[in-house]
Chain A
Amino acid sequence: MNKQKHSMQPIPSHDEAVRQDFVTDFRAFLTDEIYPKITPYYQSKIEPDFIKEHGRKPEDKKEVQNVMLQDSAYQSWSFLQRISQQMMFTSVIDTVERTLDELIKKTKKYSELGSLELDQTIQIPRYLTAYDIHQQPGGYHTENTENDISAGVVYDISLPIYSGDAMGDENDLLAQATINFIKNNIKTVPKKILDMGCYIGNSTLPFAKAFPESEVYGIDVAAPGLRYAHARANALDASVHFSQQNAESMSFESNTFDIVTSCLFLHETSHAAIPKIINECARVLKPGGWMIHMDVYPFQRNVVEPLYDFLKDWEVINNNEDFSGALREMDLQGIFEEAGFSEETIEFTSAEASSETNKGYTGDFYLKLPVYVAQKMA
């Protein structure tokens, strides 16, 4: 099975490839063999101990967390899950480091379609520099050499390991779900589409392919991702206009786009950034245009199961996704209305991807994804 899915990806050596395969199998083992033991373990040991001491069940995820973080059996799984992510990155970084010179040279060849505009004066927001999101060493933005693309390459080739090969050859399963949603529910043929926080463009390219008549734009603050995104788009024969911009304050003119979208972007920003980003979405959309963000799991549920809530927050605590938990608590409805989206069009629903093969460690998560949708007032 060839690991190189397009010509901007490096080819791992024999040992690098099997080292990466080990991480895939390690993550599968943790998810399939160990993780399912946690709920029964909690029900038969942790919860009864808690009841003995307090005379009642834990009330919320905080109380569950207090006992679980003291439990060495749970913490062993949690630690293994955390280091599987670290091992994923170290095993792909070997390949990227070894091949980086050649890959950077290749970007010159893959530059004809679309465009790339970088802005050296851009400030990387603190929410991206305070810690490395997903534990990717150096984060999204770090430049290790001239014209660096390494962080983008690392991201691209670790996604199949992260997801258990659930994202498809072009890592585009999530965007396909958004596109399905647009085709089934919004039924507009957009002329101009903007993808915010596009990074390597894996969720941007599908728009260019699904709507060949539209102009597709992608913005991000991280140059290594954008340089790679442009070359990658060319390697995959797609035309996208990438530019280095902060979604909190963009240079696009008002009333420009028919659709503004993002994919797993909002939860990597901050409390202060969210209203600014949503205001910008409203500004750059044409009247009657649609905003559609795919992001973290549903956040307003009626059924509260403290253990479920605690486990769902695993990435927040253990995988440097600090803001994703807090996003769920925000009044997005209010922020959307404030920004000028029609109240009756605001919807927190889900988009479905169709996976031809049953891949991935946890299929459900990747096949039904939360989307936040709203239409700008006409």
Chain B
Amino acid sequence: MAKKITLPRVAKGKNLIYLDDNSVDNILAMVMTLTQEISVLTDRLDTIENLMAKKGQINIDDINSFEPDNELQEKRSERRKILLKRVLLPIEKALDSK
């Protein structure tokens, strides 16, 4: 079997520090990736719920080949926005001018 190709996932460039130090930056990056994974899980659950409501019985291929229509896409976008708003509330608040 051919060797599996792996692609690079980190870009070459200056190591910039944004907040107090690298570790604080790293934690914020990790929080955002976790938020992304929560969103992925929620969308998967949403797919399953939609399929169940329509078909009653489903299999793994049904889930993997599911494509949300525009209406469902918009609903999901709206829900992601609420998730982001919750997670990023402290940052939004800090930028609110009095």
The residues of A with any CB-CB pair to B shorter than 8 Å are 1-2, 13-15, 18-19, 21-23, 25-26, 28-29, 33-34, 37-38, 40-41, 43-45, 72-80, 82-84, 86-87, 89-91, 93, 96-97, 100-101, 130-132, 135-139, 142, 144-145, 150, 154, 317-318, 320
With both beta carbons as reference points, the residue of chain B lying nearest to A14 in the complex is identified as B64
Contact of B11 among A45, A79, A101, A137 (CB under 8 A): A137
**Shortest distance from the beta carbon of B59 to any chain A beta carbon, whole Å:** 13
Distance (Å) between the CB of B71 and the closest chain A CB?
A: 11
Query: Is there contact, CB below 8 Å, between B40 and A15?
Result: yes
Query: Are the CB atoms of B8 and A1 closer together than 8 Å?
Result: no
> In this complex, which of A22, A80, A91, A318 has the most chain B Cβ atoms within 10 angstroms of its Cβ?
A22
Secondary structure of the A contact surface, majority rule: helix
A26, A86, A90, A96: residue with the most chain B Cβ atoms closer than 10 Å:
A26
Q: Which A-chain residue is minimally distant from B43 (CB atoms)?
A: A18
Q: Which of A25, A82, A87, A317 has the most CB of B within 10 A?
A: A25
Residues of A within 8 Å of B12, CB to CB, are: 130-132, 137, 139
| Complex interface: chain B residues within 8 A of A34 (CB) | 88, 91-92, 95
Q: Which of A45, A80, A318 has the most CB of B within 10 A?
A: A80
Chain B residues within 8 Å of A13, by CB: 64
In the complex, the answer to whether A44 meets B98 with C-beta atoms within 8 Å is yes
**Residues of chain A within 8 A of B84, CB atoms compared:** 25-26, 29, 33
> What are 25 A-B pairs at a CB distance below 8 A?
A1-B68, A14-B44, A14-B66, A18-B43, A19-B39, A19-B40, A21-B77, A22-B35, A29-B81, A29-B85, A33-B85, A34-B91, A37-B96, A37-B97, A41-B95, A43-B97, A72-B19, A84-B32, A86-B29, A131-B11, A136-B11, A137-B11, A139-B12, A144-B5, A144-B6
B7, A144: Cβ atoms closer than 8 Å: yes
Q: Is B53 interfacial (CB 8 A cutoff)?
A: no
Candidates A21, A79, A150; contact of B28 at CB < 8 Å: A79
Looking at the assembled complex, report how far the CB atom of B12 sits from the nearest CB atom of chain A, in whole angstroms: 5
Contact of A41 among B11, B36, B96 (CB under 8 A): B96
Residue contact A80 to B91, C-beta cutoff 8 Å = yes
Query: With the chains together, A77 CA to B94 CA distance in Å?
Result: 10
Contact of A44 among B7, B19, B70, B97 (CB under 8 A): B97
Q: Which of B7, B29, B92 contacts A33 (CB 8 A)?
A: B92
- Beyond contacts A76-B95, A101-B2: 17 other A-B pairs, Cβ-Cβ < 8 A, are A1-B69, A13-B64, A18-B76, A25-B77, A33-B81, A37-B92, A44-B98, A73-B91, A75-B18, A79-B18, A80-B32, A80-B91, A87-B32, A89-B9, A101-B5, A135-B11, A137-B10
Inter-chain contact A38/B95, CB cutoff 8 Å: yes
> Are A18 and B40 closer than 8 Å at their CB atoms?
yes
Chain B residues with CB under 8 Å of chain A are 2, 5-14, 16, 18-20, 25, 28-29, 32-33, 35-37, 39-40, 43-44, 47, 63-70, 73, 76-77, 80-81, 84-85, 88, 91-92, 94-98
> Who on chain A is nearest to B72 by CB?
A1
Cα distance, A25 to B73, chains bound together (Å): 11
Instruction: Determine the chain B residues whose CB is within 8 A of the CB of A45 once the complex forms.
Output: 97
Q: What's the Cα separation between A132 and B91 when bound, in Å?
A: 28
Assuming A26-B36, A89-B11, is B77 touching A73 (CB within 8 A)?
no
- Return B27 CB to nearest CB of chain A, in Å: 11
Query: Could you tell me the distance between the alpha carbons of A14 and B45 in the complex, rounded to whole angstroms?
Result: 11
Say yes or no: B97 contacts A83, CB within 8 Å. no
Q: Which residues of A contact B47 (CB under 8 A)?
A: 14
Picked from B7, B94, B98, the residue with its CB within 8 Å of the CB of A138 is: B7
- Contact B16 A318, beta carbon cutoff 8 Å: yes
Assembly CA distance A377 to B18 (angstroms): 50
- Provided the pairs A137-B9, A137-B10, A138-B7 are in contact, do residues A72 and B94 lie with their beta carbons within 8 angstroms? yes
A83→B70 contact, CB < 8 A: no
